[in-house]
Structure 1
Amino acid sequence: MNGIDGQGGFEKLVVMSDAGEQREREAAKLTRHDGLGGLEMLAARYRDHAYPLHTHPTWVFGVVVAGVEKLRIGRHQHLAPAGSIIIVNPEEPHDGEKGAPAGWAYRTCYPDAALMAEIAGDMELTGLPMFREGIVQAPDLARAFVRAHRLAGQALEQEAAMLVVLSELAGRFGDGKPRDRASDGGETARRFRLCRELIAEDLSAGFDLAHLAAAAGVTRFQVIRDFHRAAGMTPGQYLRDRRIRAASALIRTDMPLAEIAAATGFADQSHLTRVFKAIKGVSPGAWRAAA
């Protein structure tokens, strides 16, 4: 099965049936992101599963990454091939089933009113964004959504990426229009310096956007914009970069790699090794030997 997910399928997660054949064709995994108010995110692949008509108290945003889904949203019937973005408003009746013999795979999330209100507030909308179209085509946003969805285990990076893509969806397809933001000059640099100093104080600390926003006295969305303007990186990318820099310096010493990993905010030595090699091109051991 191929699609915009780029790996030819999903993880083998929650098996939908005990039958061996079914195990090969249907799987689903539900995760929650605490930094996004417990945002539920579903990654699923279905062939014979069919959702009956139902509603959610939340919004539903999803991207079909392979195959075709057939669904009703409100009073309209749709075929959503790979690359389609699905949007369902709260309390809007909808169903879902395969639109092609092989079924479909998709990634979805279910933001609640509190999260959408935060997005609306940052965009200075007059109310919560609602959407007229159930299926939209925006390849750049579809790819961004899938990338954000797949950042499991990278809490800060996933939090920022998902907030950005949800804001973009609201700005492009919602019934309100975001304001144009003028540059705030030196304030960006000042706020970024506060965040940078907080991170530098303890690289082993766990950071999320709310933590950085409180330090700078702004919203989570402003933190994302400030890092983009001042550093050309997302907050998560910047944090990873600082941790690798600190680890590189410590690797030149005799400090054990496991201790270096703990001191610089990595989960364990294998996590440090994986990230270090991805950025430096060699393992920490090879880096130490060369140094």
Structure 2
Amino acid sequence: MAEFWRSRALPHLEARRSCQENPCYRPHAHDAFSVGLIDEGRSVLSGCLDGPVRLQPGDVVVIPAGQVHACNPEHGAWRYQMVHMDQGWALALTGQEPCSALFVGISVLRRHDLRSRIVEMTDAIFADETRPRIEATIAAMLHELEAVPPARLVVTDLTDAASQLLTRLFPVMERLRLDESNPALSELAGLAGMSTFQLVRAMRRATGLSPLAWRQNARIVQARHLLRDGHPIAETAQVLGFADQSHFHRVFRTHVGATPGVYRG
């Protein structure tokens, strides 16, 4: 079960409340800065350099844009809430540099005194509060997160080497993003001047995903934007090159943890 709400005052703001009982997410990344709170149950966060992290009620998870992750229930029901927001906007609210710890890697903060701030932020979006009210609430939450001592459970960082790889892989990623069909690995490798083995290894190192998985993630990110803008589900599936609506439904659900219909609202 999942419910979504988009702020009318700040359209890039999206809040969700979810309750899941079965594994529902494959590794994926958002194009937004995300802050979540575990309300009930236990789950496992994967995608961290130090290995999977077991989450418990009260944990706060901070995920910058582009960071590959997956979080699934460990045993029984798991309930959480999360807010996605434009990362540049969030940075402007904090007045911090992009290198601030909050924006360079996944963080898990085991500080239960932060819970009320996260709940207040989610409630403000679901209540469709005014822009000044929402901005003040989120700014206060971000400043509290910034003030947390650096002793975090885990931080996943994008290294300089990975950043350099992204530059080399740019033609590959553009081809994956724009091509309506799945390009052959040999063609993609040629664009980067690599062997197919080197390409797969480089993509995983730079993005956390294989070329095909990265393409699927990019299409679902775009699908979320189209659905939020009111585009029909069938049209969205066709525009993004999915074989049919059923295929789109299956892939979307494994990335978003909800059907396209539930997400579109």
Q: TM-score, normalised by structure 2?
A: 0.49
Structure with higher RCO (Cα < 8 A, 6+ apart): 2
